Structures are given as C-alpha cells and as structure tokens.
Chain A
Amino acid sequence: MAKYLLKRILIGIVTLFVLSSVTFFLMKATPGSPISSEKYKTPEAMQAAIEKYHLDKPVIEQYGIYMNDLLHGNLGESMVSEGRTVAYFIGNGFPVTAKVGSIAFVIALVGGISLGTAAALSEKKWVSNLCMFVATIGVSIPSFLIAMLLILVFGVTLHIFPFVGLRTPANYVMPVIALSLYPISMISRLTRSSMIEVMKQDYIILARSKGTPYKKVVIKHAIKNAMLPVVTYAGPMFAFLLTGSFVVETIFSIPGLGSTFTSCIMNRDYPVIMGVTIFLGILIITFNLITDVISASIDPRIKLK
C-alpha cells in the first residue's frame, strides 16, 4: 500500500511539473506581447511593467523565477486587472464553484445510483427502458445546452426559477441540474451494469436462500458491491464538474471560478489562465489519487501494484 501510494504521488508530482512547464512555454509562445502600448501610455510605465513581469530576462530565467514562485505558492498577478493576484481570483471564485459543484456532486451520486438500481432491478421493462433513455439523453446533450434549454423553458417562458446569480436557494436549481445531468447518466449506466452483474453472484443467492428480505439483500449486499465502478468514476466526475462550471457559471452569471476563468480567456489575461489551470490541475490530480486509493482499499480484489 505504502509503495503504491508513493508511486502514485510521484507520478502526480511529475504530472504537475509537466503541466506547469507546458503551460509556461505555451504562454511564452503566444504571438504578441501582453504588454501593449495602448495600456501603458508612457515609455517609462511600459518599461516598469516589463521589469515587473521579468519580460526583459531570457526565457529560461523567467521559467526559473516562475517555477520558484510556484513552489512558494505564488501563482502570479493579473495583467488586466491592476494589482490583483491570481490567488485573489481563486479565493473569491472557488468557494462559490465548490458550493454549486458539491451540491451537483451529491445529487449526481444519489440520482445516478437510484436510477441505475431501479433500471437494473425493476421487473417492469418500461422502468429500465425509461431510465436508460434518460441516461442516453443525459450523455448526449452537452451541459451548456441543457443550461440554455432550462433557461428557455423554466426561466424565460414559465418564470418558475430565477436564472441570474445565486441570491436565493431557487437560484441553485437550474445550474445544479445542468451540471449534474451528465454525471447522473454516467453513474446510472455504471450502476445498472454492475448491479446486474452483482445480482448474479453466489453470495446474493446465498443471502436470498437464507431468507434475508429482498430489500436488505439489495441495500446491504448488492449496492455495496456494485459501487466500485461508481467510486472509480468519482475522479473523472470531479474533473467534469470543474470544467463544466466554465460555461454553466457564465450562462447563469454565477461569480465562481469558472466564469472568472472564462472572462480571463476572453481578456487574454495569461497569468490568471495559467494560474487557474495549474490550480485545477492540482485539485484534479489530488482527487484522482484519493479516489484511486479509496477504490483500491475498499475492494481487496484490486491489486495495488
């Protein structure tokens, strides 16, 4: 276990190093200087800005400074909004994103598992067909289109839910649905197929023949064992919720990290794009590591190599 953990952490660190290096050199390769003469009226101000961002030094030295800053947790400063650090943007935006994202995460888990279980166990064929139909639609329609359709139907036409900002609890309904529909579909597909597989196992038959009530068998034995693929999917789902927030937050005008990132892309605010990318990379790699370790430790059949 310790060896496996160490290896995974090592790979994670190398990945982060590569990600931040690639990000740095990609940004350096951008045509045109981010310090334009329109913004800095006098040559002195421009010179000061160039020195501030170390643009007068050779690229390798800039890379060294950048990496050193990164190691000290300093992600740099925005080039568009004066005096704001990348950490400021993250500190402001991430809690909002995390709030919406974690609600979507829970909804996706609960909804997906119940849909998938229903589809796997129901005697009636139409129940499983309906569940799988919902799942196919959820997989096929991109989250931002779902968001727009929701706004069109429930916001603009029916006026049921508000769709700007996050002032009231009702504001959360549509962004959360838009974000969680895809993971719900994925989880219900995974749950259904692994549930069907698990219900054929000997220990289920044994539990049933010992006279355990059906409900108890399903909850205590089947669901627990059918959850493994779902736990493994939690990592990709986390990544999906974070990247999905880019557009969903923009559409619903939610002041989270996603909409900040989108507007920085529009403004070509390179340090913030870079910083947020690395921040998200760290989060996702850590989360993937955690899910891998959890899925390995809850199922002894998975060998830790």
Chain B
Amino acid sequence: MDLKKDELKLTPDLFEKLDENEKNAEKIAYESKTYFQDAWVRFKQNKLALAGLCFIIFMVACCIIIPIISPYTYDGQDMTNSNAGMSMAHLMGTDKFGRDILVRIMCGGRISLSVGAIAALIALVIGIIYGGISGYVGGKVDMVMMRFVDMMYSIPDMLYIIMIVVVLEPSMFSILLGISISSWMGMARQVRAQVMTLKEQEFSLAAFVLGASKSRILFKHLIINSMGPIIVSVTMLVPSAIFNEAFLGFLGIGLSAPQASWGTLANDARQIMMAYPMQVVWPVLAICLTMLALNFIGDGLGDALDPKKK
C-alpha cells in the first residue's frame, strides 16, 4: 500500500448519504439497565409477587404504626371488658384479660416479623462465610466442612430448636439462636455451589492475576456475583423462621406473657376456641397471609433474578 496522500482525492461524490433507516442502527433503544433494575422489571410483571410485596409492606407499616396510635397497649388489662366481640372500640375484639386483640396482633407481628428477618440475616452471614470458604478453598477442607453440613442437615431442625430453647429458657435470644443454628446449612450449600462454579470463570482469574487477595476475590467478586440465588433463598428463609417461631409458641416454649408472638397468640386462643372461635382466626390469618405473601415474593424473585430459569 504505497498510496500517497495526494493520489487519493476526497470528493463529495465519493460519499453517499446514509439511509434514514440505517441511521440509528448502532443506537441501543433499550435503556441500559443494571442487574437489579432488570430484575425489578421482571418482578413487576408477576402480579402475585407484587401483591405479596404490597401486603408485606402494609403489614410492616401496620405493625409499626397501629400500636403507637392505638389508645390501648398490648398488656393493658380490662377485666370488665373481657372476651368482647368486634366493635368500633376494639376492631378485633378483646381477649380473656380484656386486652385489645388488634394491638396484640400487631405487637406480635413486630416480634414474629423481626424474628423472621433477623434469623434469615444471621443464617445469611454464617452461610456466606462458611459456604464461601468451603467452596473457594476446596479439597480436603471442603470435604470436611461439607460432611459436617450433611450431618447437621440429617437431623430435623425442630429437634435442635426445641433442645436449645428448652435448655436456654425461652427468650428472644434463645429462639433466634435455635432458629439460626438450624437454618444456615441450606444457605452454606447454596453459596458453596455458586462459588464453585464462579471461581473457574475468567473474571475470577483476572482478579487473581491483578493481584487481588483471596478474601477480596471471594467476597468482592464471587459472592457479589452469586447474590441472585442467595437473595432468593433468604426470602425463603424468612417464612420458615416465622413458621418455626410460631411452632415454638404453639408448643408452649415461645416468649413468655405478656409478650406474645403470633404463635403464642394462636396457642392462647386455642384453649378457648370452642367459646370464642374468632380469637383464633385473627392470629392464624396473620400468620397464613404473611407466609403466603412471602412465598409469592420468593417465587417471583426466583424468576426475576434468574432469567435463565424460565
């Protein structure tokens, strides 16, 4: 190519006008979105999941606001007005000590929902660290760590939880401890599987070549990239923690009176179910709807965060 500059004359007739249709060929019409924005678009399309999310937001708001604005307290007894039915003064009636059921359910919701959320978070942290290390280090360490998980897994969680709560005496701390000890194993397995597949990929090697430390690769690259499935299993952990807590309340080893969670409320009402069936219905409804909503959210998130699944 010994073409000299003066030999090539650029004249306007060498060019032709771009066709209108081709003008925008390179333009990306679809607005570029991050992973989570994209997931949110998919999540919104799932009506059930959206309804579940709205319900949970509504429930949380009620649990926070109603006890504050209500003239009643969760332990304020009024023996002259016990076991009252629904009325304007007490929207859900009163229990055998004349306490307002609506306020008690909302206060119970504070406890049940926070037990669910905190237990899921604890399980998440333990699971990420344990599963991350097991999956990233691999080899013998992984073998031993996973055999331990298998072992813990083969015993039903309820047995641990009951044992721990019985031994430590029922309290918020022992219930949380029991539930989190029994629920981190699934999370650890999930994280491990994710880390195992991701650590073979190029971006992990690239980070290594650039001199990133092992813990940086693990926590800043591998864990962040497996966030989708992890978030889905966290949303599934919340209802199971709420369930376990309610189960304990039902067995009579929940929080002690006058504090009450949904499980203990349902259990208290069970004893006078024949005479006042409505008192059972409210806490049962609260638990069922919340668990249903959380399950819908979990399913929706599963589809939204993992587009390959559908």
Q: Which residues of A contact B (CB under 8 A)?
A: 11-12, 14-15, 18-19, 22-23, 26-27, 29-31, 136-137, 139-142, 144-145, 148-149, 151-152, 156-157, 239-240, 242-243, 246-247, 250-251, 262, 265-266, 268, 273, 277, 280-281, 284-285, 288
Contacts and interface: CB of A to CB of B under 8 A. Distances in A.
Given A140-B292, A148-B284, A246-B158, A156 B274 contact: yes
Nearest to B150: A11
B291 A141 contact: yes
Interface in B278-298: 280-281, 284, 287-288, 291-292, 294-296
A107 to B, nearest CB: 21
B101 to A, nearest CB: 16
B227 interface: no
Interface in B254-307: 266, 270, 273-274, 277, 280-281, 284, 287-288, 291-292, 294-296, 299
B159 A280 contact: yes
Contact of B169 (A31, A136, A141, A152): A31
Given A23-B163, A246-B251, A145 B288 contact: yes
Nearest to B278: A152
Contacts of A11: 147, 150-151
Contact of A148 (B162, B243, B280): B280
A22 B162 CA distance: 13
B252 A266 contact: yes
A218 to B, nearest CB: 25
A265 B252 contact: yes
Given A140-B292, A243-B156, A284-B154, 19 more contacts: A15-B154, A30-B167, A136-B295, A140-B291, A141-B287, A142-B291, A144-B246, A151-B273, A152-B280, A156-B274, A157-B277, A246-B158, A247-B250, A265-B252, A268-B166, A273-B162, A284-B155, A285-B154, A285-B155
24 contacts: A11-B150, A23-B163, A30-B167, A139-B295, A140-B291, A140-B292, A140-B294, A141-B288, A142-B287, A145-B284, A145-B287, A148-B284, A149-B284, A151-B273, A152-B277, A152-B281, A156-B277, A157-B277, A239-B156, A246-B251, A250-B251, A262-B251, A277-B162, A288-B154
A190 to B, nearest CB: 15
Contacts of B287: 141-142, 145
A152 B278 CA distance: 9
Contacts of B253: 265-266
Contact of B251 (A18, A29, A265, A280): A265
A140 B251 contact: no
Given A14-B151, A148-B266, A284 B251 contact: no
Nearest to A276: B159
B156 A26 contact: no
B251 A142 contact: no
A145 B268 CA distance: 13
A284 B243 CA distance: 21
B72 to A, nearest CB: 25
A242 B151 CA distance: 19
Consensus secondary structure, chain B interface: helix
Q: Which of A26, A139, A140, A273 has the most CB of B within 10 A?
A: A140
B164 interface: yes
Contacts of B169: 31
- Sort A-B residue pairs by CB-CB distance and give the 4 closest, nearest first: A243-B158, A140-B292, A239-B156, A140-B291
A152 B284 CA distance: 11
Contacts of B156: 239-240, 242-243, 280, 284
B167 A27 contact: yes
B292 A136 contact: yes
A148 B273 CA distance: 9
Interface of B: 147, 150-151, 154-156, 158-159, 162-164, 166-167, 169, 239, 243, 246-247, 250-253, 266, 270, 273-274, 277, 280-281, 284, 287-288, 291-292, 294-296, 299
Contacts of A149: 284
Nearest to A15: B151
B155 A281 contact: yes
B168 to A, nearest CB: 8
Contacts of A15: 151, 154-155
Contacts of B292: 136-137, 140-141
B166 A265 contact: yes
A290 to B, nearest CB: 13
A251 B270 contact: yes
Contacts of B288: 140-141, 145
Contacts of A246: 158, 251
A126 B167 CA distance: 50
A185 B252 CA distance: 27
Given A30-B167, A31-B169, A156 B273 contact: yes
Contacts of A277: 159, 162-163
Given A140-B239, A145-B287, A265-B253, A273 B163 contact: yes
A1 to B, nearest CB: 19
Contacts of A139: 295
Contacts of A242: 156
B159 A243 contact: yes
Contacts of A151: 273
A8 to B, nearest CB: 10
Contacts of B252: 262, 265-266
B222 to A, nearest CB: 25
B154 A145 contact: no
A140 B295 contact: yes
A45 B283 CA distance: 46
